């Protein structure tokens, strides 16, 4: 957990204590729910970055020209909302594959639409048709990443899908 996330967690905990002290159980329950959702979001974002980084590291071990860059914190737009999270970028010559993932943190960032807990984006420099927007949404009792289709449908996102994005980046498809 970075310093900003740690500070945010402390602020939420303090706000929850104050709400309970003031008899505002409704606010305390909301803060507990937010903290629980933030923990789920954080784990899901870490997972997708870990898988991406592992695939990029594997590719870089075979192709030493691949450079992997990370940015944290990172902000990106999704609709009219601003996501706060991280970015990992794999570069090789003019080819570039970027993964951004995060969620809205404050009211000024906007809202998460359509029941999403978090958002991610895979961007291929110069190959817009290969780009993908992802949303972390519940499927039954578990939150899983989904690919946002052009027709509004959501399709579960799998590690095999991330492998396909890496193949496009490497020029293997």
* pLDDT tens-digit readout, 10-66: 777 787 788 778 888 787 888 788 888 888 999 999 999 999 999 999 999 999 999
Domains of the chain, by residue range, sit at 43-170
**DSSP three-state, residue 167:** helix
Return the percentage of the chain with pLDDT > 70, whole number: 97
For the entire predicted model, the pTM comes to 0.84
Per-residue pLDDT tens digits for 122-134: 999 999 999 999 9
DSSP letters spanning 51-80: HHHHHHHHHHHH-TT-EEEEEEEEEEEETT
């Amino acid at each position: 957990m970075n310093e900003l996330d740690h500070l945010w967690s402390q602020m939420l905990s303090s706000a929850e204590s104050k709400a309970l002290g003031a008899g505002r159980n409704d606010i305390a329950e909301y803060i507990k729910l937010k903290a629980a959702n933030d923990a789920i979001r954080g784990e899901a974002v870490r997972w997708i970055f870990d898988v991406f980084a592992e695939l990029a590291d594997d590719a870089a071990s075979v192709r030493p020209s691949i450079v992997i860059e990370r940015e944290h914190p990172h902000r990106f737009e999704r609709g009219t909302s601003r996501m706060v999270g991280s970015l990992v970028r794999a570069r090789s010559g003019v080819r570039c594959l970027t993964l951004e993932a995060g969620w809205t943190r404050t009211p000024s960032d906007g809202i998460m639409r359509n029941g999403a807990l978090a958002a991610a984006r895979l961007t291929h420099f110069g190959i817009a048709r290969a780009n993908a927007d992802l949303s972390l949404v519940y499927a039954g009792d578990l939150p899983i990443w989904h690919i946002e289709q052009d027709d509004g449908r959501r399709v579960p996102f799998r590690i095999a899908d991330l492998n396909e994005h890496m193949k496009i980046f490497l020029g293997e498809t």
